[in-house]
């Protein structure tokens, strides 16, 4: 029997960890007695990227440099041709996830299973934090107090409204990654103190107004209450709206080292509801942060998180089970429960490219 061929197209640096985890899990797999499923043992892992020095090439069975800057149609043609040439069985979507999902039938006609976080309309929604917050129905998950602004006058109004509710105010672009653009409004010290000695995340109100006032209208900015409590990153695995597993990682607080893999039924229930509501699928990440003991939804990232390798130390090899679910060789209820109470960290290492 030929090995299962799995392809990762251009994505983030976490692809290295996904492939490493997937390969180790497949090598150690022992068949289990579930229905007709037999798990996955033999794997052939492919990786493509626009950089010839992409680290994940080093641990892939085969790799190829992708074309730079193609149009959507040209990139879809590249992907379809790659699937045909290499007999791809499972395709983990990175670059142009929405466009590939919209062309799903063309891929399924070739026999490939897509591992994507959601359908294209939901992916459009998740791209914008303000659109996500506005779509959350009452009772699904708490969202912070927020306003979306596009002008200095709207910013001033939102700031006054939040301050009137005794909130510390922060803001971030509605569309961004890795927390880029996030700032907390602070009046401690002078502007120079904040620049030279303060937190990189803090900014004063006068400087903020000066910057925003330089444009008559700017792109969507979410002005919201700052949530001072613990932050949790939840790595999830699902099959078409059914949550198979989630690993709750609580970020360090105070002098704590590393992250805590936490047993948190309340957060798990929120993840289950959100997964069902948006019919989420594959591997994705949900971020929460507490205020006065209540976990508030920050964002849903429709891709594997940069910290997924932490979550896999729970004993659940998430990318391996994603392959099994995509192939139908496992059901959501077959995915093991994660071990909790573990504190995890990371050691950087150098590799030859």
Q: Are residues 156 and 94 in the same domain?
A: no
155 with 83, same domain: the answer is no
pLDDT at res. 31 = 52
- 220 and 232 assigned to the same domain: no
Residue 122 included in any domain:
no
Cα 334 to Cα 97, 121, 250: the distances in Å are 27, 29, 25
Give the chain's length.
353
**Predicted local confidence at residue 36, as pLDDT:** 43
Measured distance CA(132)–CA(109) in Å, rounded: 32
CATH number of the domain that residue 46 is part of: 3.40.50.20
Place of tokens 């509501």: 277
Position 351 in a domain: no
Structural domain containing residue 180: 145-225
Q: Is the pLDDT of residue 42 over 70?
A: yes
Dihedral sign of CA atoms 256, 262, 265, 268 in order: positive
Q: Are residues 330 and 285 in the same domain?
A: yes
239: in domain: yes
DSSP annotation string for 84-103: HHHT-SEEE--TTHHHHHHT
CATH number, domain of 167, equals: 3.30.1490
Shared domain for 232 and 339, answered yes or no, is yes
Q: Would you state the pLDDT for residue 254?
A: 79
What's the pLDDT tens digit per position in 178-196? 788 999 998 777 777 777 7
In terms of domains, do 250 and 269 share one? yes
Q: How confident is the model at residue 30 (pLDDT cuts 50, 70, 90)?
A: low
pLDDT tens per residue, range 190-243: 777 777 777 778 899 999 999 999 999 999 999 999 999 999 999 999 999 999
Same domain, 209 and 252: no
Q: Answer with the one of 175, 199, 225 that is the final residue of a domain.
A: 225
Assigned domain for 273 exists: yes
- Give the pLDDT confidence score for residue 35 in this predicted structure: 41
| pLDDT tens-digit series, residues 101-143 | 999 999 999 999 999 999 999 999 999 999 999 999 999 999 9
Residue that is last in its domain, among 225, 260, 280: 225
First to last CA, the chain: 32
pLDDT beyond 80 at 94? yes
* pLDDT tens digits, 284-301: 999 999 999 999 999 999
Is it the case that residue 32 has pLDDT exceeding 70?
no
Same domain membership, residue 316 and residue 266:
yes
| pLDDT at position 256 | 83
Phi, psi (degrees; rounded to nearest 5) at 122: -70, -40
User: pLDDT band at residue 37, thresholds of 50, 70 and 90?
Assistant: very low
pLDDT at 33: 43
How many domains does one find in the chain? 3
For residue 284, what are the β-bridge partners? 236
Residues 99 and 19 in one domain: yes
Whole-number pLDDT of residue 39: 58
157 shares its domain with 211: yes
């Amino acid at each position: 029997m030929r090995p299962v061929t799995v392809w990762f197209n251009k994505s983030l640096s976490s692809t290295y960890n996904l492939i490493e985890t997937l390969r180790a899990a497949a090598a150690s797999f022992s068949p289990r007695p579930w229905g007709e499923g037999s798990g996955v043992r033999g794997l052939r892992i492919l990786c493509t990227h626009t950089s010839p020095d992409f680290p994940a090439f080093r641990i892939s069975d085969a790799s190829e440099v992708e074309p730079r800057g193609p149009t959507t149609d040209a990139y879809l043609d590249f992907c379809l041709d790659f699937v045909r040439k290499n007999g791809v069985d499972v395709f983990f979507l990175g670059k142009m996830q929405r466009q590939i999902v919209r062309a799903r039938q063309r891929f399924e006609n070739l026999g490939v299973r897509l591992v994507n976080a959601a359908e294209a309309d939901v992916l459009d929604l998740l791209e914008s934090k303000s659109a996500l917050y506005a779509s959350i129905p009452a009772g699904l998950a708490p969202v912070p107090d927020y306003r979306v602004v596009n002008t200095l006058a709207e910013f001033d109004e939102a700031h006054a409204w939040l301050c009137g509710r005794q909130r510390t105010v922060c803001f971030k672009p509605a569309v961004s990654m890795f927390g880029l653009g996030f700032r907390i409004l602070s009046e401690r010290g002078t502007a120079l103190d904040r620049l030279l000695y303060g937190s990189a995340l803090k900014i004063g109100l006068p400087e903020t107004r000066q910057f925003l006032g330089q444009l008559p209208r700017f792109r969507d900015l979410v002005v919201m209450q700052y949530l001072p409590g613990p932050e949790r990153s939840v790595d999830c695995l699902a099959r078409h709206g059914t949550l198979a597993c989630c690993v709750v990682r609580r970020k360090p607080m105070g002098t704590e080292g590393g992250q805590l893999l936490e047993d948190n039924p309340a957060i798990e229930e929120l993840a289950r509801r959100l997964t069902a509501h948006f019919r989420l699928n594959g591997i994705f990440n949900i971020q929460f942060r507490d205020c006065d003991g209540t976990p508030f939804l920050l964002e849903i990232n429709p891709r594997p998180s940069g910290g997924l390798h932490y979550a896999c130390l729970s004993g659940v090899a998430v990318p391996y089970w994603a392959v099994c679910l995509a192939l139908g060789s496992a059901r959501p209820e077959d995915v093991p429960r994660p071990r909790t109470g573990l504190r995890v960290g990371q050691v950087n290492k150098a590799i030859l490219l």
